[in-house]
Amino acid sequence: MFINIIDKHISLKPTEVADAEPLFDLVDANRDYLHPWMPWVDATATVQDEHNFIERMLTKQAKGEIFIATIVVDGEVAGMIDIHNISAINHRGEVGYWLGQDFVGKGVMTKSLERVEEIAFTELDLHKLSVGADVNNKNSRGVVERRQYHQDATLRENILVNEEYRDEVIYSLTVDEWSKRRDD
């Protein structure tokens, strides 16, 4: 339908209700892989759960509260990337993302994040993007570090996953850092 082509393998598409089935299948095939990091995995028990989630997100997007996209790799639904908690007052938002295990380790998320930065800073009028990652989530941290985000903080015991409180590392990138880097 619509697309944002990143390279010959990777693209983003606007998440739509019709994505419920492939996204649910992807979550379902990756329960063990995603479970340690994603608190929402257990709550996604049926295609209808995913459908309802997408409908809720698109309704929020209609009000400008979030931005959400489906990541497609070689024609297959591979994961999601979003900007949530968009503050219209403070011009910032928090990026979230996940991939199915088969798509990890190929630069897919780093390139997807790069593209979302461009959208955030040139189209959504944001001043800063933040990313929070479980301190032990190497994959997730690797993505933002490759994108050279500034490591701002470790927020202690900030996320509860599998009945354990974990520290969360907060990274950020401002529009000025982002423009400067592009000019170089």
Binding site for its own copies (CB under 8 A): 1-4, 12-14, 17-18, 39, 55, 58-59, 61-64, 69, 89-92, 119, 123-125, 127-128, 130, 150, 152-160, 165, 170, 172, 174
Residue 79 or 104 with smaller CB distance to its own copies? 79
Residue 142 or 155 with smaller CB distance to its own copies? 155
Cα gap 162→179, rounded to integer Å:
39
Cα gap 87→89, rounded to integer Å:
5
**If residue 87 lies in a helix (H) or strand (E), which one and from where to where?**
strand 76-87
Q: How far is the CB of 27 from its own copies (least distance, A)?
A: 17
Residue 1 or 75 with smaller CB distance to its own copies? 1
CB 54, CB 19: distance < 8 Å: yes
Q: How far is the CB of 25 from its own copies (least distance, A)?
A: 17
Residue 52 or 110 with smaller CB distance to its own copies? 52
Q: How far is the CB of 134 from its own copies (least distance, A)?
A: 12
User: Which residues lie across from 155 on neighbouring strands?
Assistant: 168
Q: How far is the CB of 33 from its own copies (least distance, A)?
A: 20
Residue 105 or 150 with smaller CB distance to its own copies? 150
Burial of 74 (0-12, 13-18, 19+ CB in 10 A): exposed
Q: How far is the CB of 146 from its own copies (least distance, A)?
A: 20
